[in-house]
A and B are shown apart, each in its own frame.
Chain A
Amino acid sequence: MTIFDRTMRLLERTLDLRSARQRVIASNLANEETPGYRASELNFTEQLRSAHRGGLPIVLTATQSRHFGVQGPQDVRAVTGKLSEVPAGDLPLDANSVNLELEMAKLSDNAMQYNAAATIIAKRFEGLLSAIRDAR
């Protein structure tokens, strides 16, 4: 267990992505009554899984390559998630597709996942530091 290993990179990237997802959920909640607003969501578990497994390198789209450059890291650090519209069934009169209950559930879930990852990271460092201090 090192401090720079793959799991740590995965944990850190998870925090980045969960934080971004939180922002998307907050937008949906803030615009719950905005006419014409379509709910978005950020999904990344698939990408994370395949990047962590070390599978095919992430194919960067034209827009992304402007930001990252094609020589960027090809592991979990390159995972940006996919931002898409939440598929909506019938739209109400104001054409707003936000499902409040669904977004609230996502809110809790996302926060818990973030907190779990943060706690795991904290424990790792705690363990490392005490191992170092006690090394005789």
Chain B
Amino acid sequence: MDMMDGMAVSVSGLDAQRRRLNVIASNLANAQSTHTPGGGPYKRRDVIFRSAPVSGTFQQTFRRVADGPTARALEGVSVARVVEDSKPGQLIYDPHHPDADPKGFVRLPNVNVMEEMVNMIGASRAYEANVQAINATRAMWNKALEIGR
């Protein structure tokens, strides 16, 4: 009853972490972008995760082996929103910079490279965890197939 749904849960995890990695990559690539088409420096982006149902309807997800006080339909994960971080970045004094303001200051993007690297490692680790889950479930499936051998 649960193996394919279990896979779908792990796949949703892979998906979410991949999107997160994309956002982090974008942040890193634009860590020095002091000018964007919309004007102003690049604004760091972040993903907001939220649990989400994995199979079609709530009825389906409740038709499970387990039933209890904390039975939930929300076991997959999805990216609820991609948000911009509006915290202002650093202001540095560089009058020769092409994007310097009249006073000679340049507003840098609010990207902290160290923080983004740490996030990237976290996202990779989480991605890997979901890969392990899929591998384990697949191994179980294959073992069950051997019952018929």
Q: Which residues of A contact B (CB under 8 A)?
A: 15-20, 22-27, 29-35, 37-38, 40, 42, 61, 63-64, 67, 80-85, 100, 103-104, 107-108, 110-111, 114-115, 118-119, 121-122, 125-126
Total interface residues on B, CB under 8 Å, equals 47
The answer to whether A30 and B77 have CB atoms under 8 Å apart is yes
* Bound Cα distance from A82 to B57, whole angstroms: 23
The answer to whether A119 and B146 have CB atoms under 8 Å apart is yes
Closest chain-B Cβ to A69's Cβ sits at a distance in Å of: 14
Task: Tell whether A31 pairs with B49 under 8 Å between CB atoms, given A20-B1, A22-B3, A125-B147.
Answer: yes
Determine whether B28 belongs to the interface, using a CB cutoff of 8 Å to chain A: no
Determine whether B104 belongs to the interface, using a CB cutoff of 8 Å to chain A: no
Q: Which residue of B lies closest to A107 (CB)?
A: B136
Main DSSP-derived SS at the B contact region: helix
Residues of B within 8 A of A30 (CB): 9-10, 12-13, 16, 75-77, 130, 133
Task: Tell whether A29 pairs with B147 under 8 Å between CB atoms, given A81-B66, A111-B139.
Answer: no
Q: Which residues of B contact A (CB under 8 A)?
A: 1-3, 5-7, 9-10, 12-13, 16-17, 20, 48-51, 63-72, 75-77, 122-123, 125-126, 129-130, 132-133, 136-137, 139-140, 143-144, 146-147, 149
A–B pairs, 20, beta carbons within 8 Å: A17-B65, A20-B2, A20-B66, A23-B75, A26-B10, A26-B133, A30-B133, A31-B13, A34-B77, A40-B70, A67-B67, A80-B66, A81-B66, A83-B70, A100-B129, A103-B129, A115-B143, A118-B144, A119-B143, A122-B147
Task: Tell whether A84 pairs with B9 under 8 Å between CB atoms, given A22-B3, A104-B132.
Answer: no
The answer to whether A29 and B133 have CB atoms under 8 Å apart is yes
The answer to whether B70 and A85 have CB atoms under 8 Å apart is yes
Residues of B within 8 A of A61 (CB): 67
